[in-house]
Amino acid sequence: MAKVFDWLSSRSKQSDKEPPLLLIGVGNPGEKYAGTRHNVGFMLIDLLGERARIRLNDKRKDTILGQGTIAGKSVVLAQPRTFVNKSGVAARYLTARFKAKPASMLILIDDLDLPVGKMRLRKSGGSGGHNGLNSINADLGTQEYPRLRIGIGRPIQGAIQHVLGGFSGDEATLLKETLEQAAVAVEAWVEHGTEYAMNHFN
């Protein structure tokens, strides 16, 4: 009888446990796209993994992920294995698997409308024309989730070539500094929430 009670108590504690926070970097999978402007979300996830010693070693059909803690809170770091315009497939899988609400998900994404060296955290909002956010909005049926936009600059023409291209030497140096700051902002988001992070890092 005591063993049954212990089992029921354990199940109750598990069900009461809060879902992890989901940190999802948007980008294109494969070596061909590594280091491109569209993949700054992947770069930030890699950096967060290094800082928190979280390995992305769990490969699923639609995403690769790793679980650990940041600021004492349970988190999942994820990089979709789909292309940018299908990012919603991974977001839907992750929210379902971990029983997490969209508000507990932070999307890390590139932004053409911000210059390299700038970032902006938002609580919710439209896609701004970004196909990754369009996909997430469609698959989750909401745009009420936070996102951290990292500037990649807008070219005069040739947006597709631009986002699939790399950074110049000066830009790469500036991006590295921005990603370091962005990692601190994400850690603050995990520990203190969206409003705090917006007030301190926007």
Report if residue 58 sits inside a domain: yes
The total number of structural domains in the chain stands at 1
Catalytic hit among 38, 130, 192, 200: 38
Report if residue 13 sits inside a domain: no
Check residue 1 and give its pLDDT. 54
Report if residue 77 sits inside a domain: yes
Among this protein's residues, is 192 annotated catalytic? no
Check residue 16 and give its pLDDT. 58
Alpha helix locations (H) across the chain? Answer: 2-16, 40-52, 87-97, 131-140, 159-163, 169-192, 194-201
Report if residue 11 sits inside a domain: no
CATH number at residue 70: 3.40.50.1470
Report if residue 8 sits inside a domain: no
Report if residue 10 sits inside a domain: no
Report if residue 4 sits inside a domain: no
Q: Quote the domain boundaries for residue 53.
A: 19-201
The answer to whether the pTM exceeds 0.85 is yes
Please write the tens of the pLDDT for every residue from 29-74. 999 999 999 999 999 999 999 999 999 999 999 999 999 999 999 9
Q: Are 24 and 78 in contact (CB under 8 A)?
A: yes
Please write the tens of the pLDDT for every residue from 140-188. 999 999 999 999 998 877 788 888 999 988 999 999 999 999 999 999 9
